[in-house]
Amino acid sequence: MVVDGVRAMMCVCATDVGLVREHNEDACFVGENCCAVADGMGGHRAGEVASRMAIHAVEQELSRSGPAGFDIVRCIRQANAAVLDASRHADALEGMGTTLTVATVNPGALRVGHVGDSRAYLLTADGIKQLTDDHSVVGEMLRSGLITAEEAAAHPKRHAITRALGFFDDLEVDVGEWPVRPGDVVVLCTDGLHDLVSPEEIRAAFGRSRDPSGACHDLVSLACSRGGHDNITVAACVVTESDMPAPAEGPRGSEP
């Protein structure tokens, strides 16, 4: 069945508490031509609440609008409003927040909305490309040229977030759009994965396996084998067939 020019994409996800944390504050979602990951933060399991609220907002938007009408910016802003409202009305949830990265494909075009330091990658025949910027202290230092990628990987402040859901009403959302073709794979992951597994290793996992679900679980296992110091989540959408020509790549930007 054709859905907006893209034949039913294969979307899968895997999440694990890791080897150190007591609770899994990550959450993920895969639906019709849509996937999302969220990495919550906050005291006494409040991060779990925030990430699940964010993912629930994605489910609601997809249910209401369908793949063709899915509005990523509206979805993320509604998730932000829900997290803010909950944190303001329950002492146990005060100060909670979450990252949120959402991807949709319609028709032949990948659209990504993003806040935080989770990541979106696009795997093509030409390689793997990171589509999102880390909204973190270290991410900003890296983009400004103050540190190298090697220094960023070991920097003590690499987990200090500069933008997340749950802290400001006027949330700025990064959005971008890219062409996709049959065989391309969209991969979203939290920092529990990308801290320990390189982009090339992510690409290799999907290149080795014809089963994207197996590739996701292999990546989670690889991160655990390297310490699993955080919750680990990865979601993937494989573009199986497109009936429409891919558009030219458009500019990226933020929507305040």
Tens of pLDDT, residue by residue over 48-82, are 999 999 999 999 999 999 988 999 999 999 999 99
Residues 6+ apart with CB under 8 A from 123: 184, 185, 186, 187, 202, 203, 206
What is the predicted pLDDT for the residue at 43?
79
Residue range 106-130, pLDDT digits in tens: 877 999 999 999 999 999 999 999 9
The 10 Å Cβ neighbour count of residue 179 is: 17
Chain centre to alpha carbon of residue 211? 20
Q: What is the pLDDT of residues 209-223, one digit of tens each?
A: 889 999 999 999 999
Residue 242 pLDDT level (bands cut at 50, 70, 90) = low
Mean pLDDT of 37-53: 94
- Give the per-residue pLDDT at 186: 97
Architecture of domain 2-243: 4-Layer Sandwich (3.60)
Closest by Cα among 97, 98, 118 to 35: 118
Average pLDDT over residues 32-57: 94
Per domain, the residue ranges of the chain are 2-243
Give pLDDT, residue 215: 96
